Amino acid sequence: MGIITATSSNDWVCPLKVTLPDFSKAKILVIGDIMLDRYWHGGTSRISPEAPVPVVNVQETEDRAGGASNVALNISALGSRVTLCGITGQDEAADSLSKLLDSHNIQCAFDQRAHQNTITKLRIISRHQQLIRLDFEKDFSLQSGVNLELVSELVSQHDLVVLSDYGKGTLQDPQSIIQAARKAGKPIVVDPKGSDFSKYQNATVITPNQSEFDLIAGSSSSEEEFLSKGQTQRETLKLDALLVTRSEKGMALFEHDHEPFLQPTQAREVFDVTGAGDTVVAALATGLASGLDLKTATQIANLAAGIVVAKLGTATATRQELLNVMLQHQPLSQGVVTETELLDLIQKSKATGETIVMTNGCFDILHAGHVTYLKQAAALGDRLIVAVNNDDSVRKLKGEGRPVNPVDQRMEVLAGLASVDWVVEFTEDTPARLIGECLPDILVKGGDYKPEQIAGGDAVMNNGGQVIILDFVDGVSTTKIIEKARG
């Protein structure tokens, strides 16, 4: 059996060769077991006279979204629009959850029932230690599951459906939801629960962890056996794909007519795995709803999981954090670039919050003055772009016999400087159009100019950027070097 791996090295380098799509265009419906995680914090200084237990003086309370609510939070953190549907009570806990989720731009479509309690998990914490957890819940499975008429109406309004099953009874009939989604042409991602996955047949993809997978397929004595079982389970369940999350082993993706794709773990440091599964489901769903294929969406989910396990407590990964991690593992190329390549690099660089500096010139014979000037320009930001006059424009500016060095050689020399990130040629008499396309944060020019006199300066300033004038090194110029060489 062939196996596709992202890399054979333990020092994983992100293999993504794509730009993150606009997640904000995706509309995702999350259906599942909604829970409220409640934390009461306080000091403890004595033992109760009524029983041998500590007395906690509660000084701080905190409510967090749990269960399927946390999946919705993760989707919202990535920038997509999300609706959460599930069973709650008509109680204070449901009101608290609704306010919390609304503050994160999550649309609530609760199936509220007077005879039910919203599932609430109360943790009493003192000195960073959990003393006890109190669960308030009725088994929804004793009643009917989520309202299927409500679900069918919501499915038609969204691009993708997520089923977040915690085994509390909201998803008593997942097949009806899966069939409704399939009929509407909507992909459906399932975070499964239990030892019977047949109820999730015909989903687009399900995402069990290794323990959940072993529970339904049996433990494997070798990697080959595991891969074989993965393909078999995918076929048996009639899934488009099966994604198994494997903790320190990363992820394994099984698709129809594809070899297994093994994705090594991205996490460098693991502080807390709480909620990592929710993040995987959320990122995978967001990627698919935004038009990515399963393999690319899996890689993004792996990146997101690596971000959240490096945080304490239940956490989310943002689009900005994803961009930052992608840039760490796949550094932007440097050197001589075309205008098209430059604009793409600027977009990626700005997305990570970097400051772009740009300057321009002929740089016919590179000398100490140029080197000092470019170092000073580079120190103003994170990336330095040097736009270079082509040979015809140098000839117009400097006269016949110039340039001494053709443009390709001038650019290569500039690209070799540690201070310079990208070098690009421009063919017009001035770089005004190019600067207007690039819109750097800072435009730098050397010499005795006023900002309004500098080509492209108005476009930069109108965009909220700066124009900065730097002094040239006295007594050093290309013209003087040429005159001296001619004797």
- Active-site residues, by number, are 278
Residue 119 is inside which H or E element, if any? strand 119-126
| Segments of 308-389 assigned E as strands | 335-336, 356-361, 383-389
Instruction: Count the residues in the chain.
Output: 487
Alpha-carbon span 346 to 368, nearest angstrom = 28
Burial category of 48 from C-beta neighbours within 10 Å (exposed 0-12, middle 13-18, buried 19 and up): exposed
DSSP state of 192: -
Instruction: Determine how many CB atoms are found less than 10 A away from the CB of residue 287.
Output: 26
CA angle 335, 330, 443 (to 5 degrees): 45
CA 104 to chain centre: 17
Which residues, including other chains, have CB under 8 Å from residue 487's CB and lie 6 or more apart? Answer: none
Q: Are 440 and 450 in contact (CB under 8 A)?
A: no
Query: To which H or E segment does residue 398 belong?
Result: helix 391-398
Looking at the DSSP assignment, which residues form a beta bridge with residue 39? Answer: 62, 123
Peptide bond into 403 cis (omega under 30): yes
Tokens encoding 161: 């459906």
In this structure, the dihedral spanned by the alpha carbons of residues 94, 100, 106 and 108, taken in order and rounded to 10 degrees, is: 10
Whether residue 94 contacts residue 112, with contact meaning beta carbons closer than 8 Å, is answered with yes
- CB 60, CB 114: distance < 8 Å: no
Helix orientation angle between 148-155 and 174-183, rounded to the nearest 10 degrees: 30
Contacts 24+ apart (CB under 8 A), 177-181: 177/31, 177/148, 177/151, 178/202, 178/203, 180/148, 180/151, 180/152, 180/155, 181/155
The tally of CA atoms less than 13 A away on the side-chain side of residue 34 is 30
Residue pair 443/454 in contact by the 8 Å Cβ criterion: yes
Residue 117 dihedral angles phi and psi, to the nearest 5° = -100, 140
Q: How far apart are CA 84 and CA 282, in angstroms?
A: 12
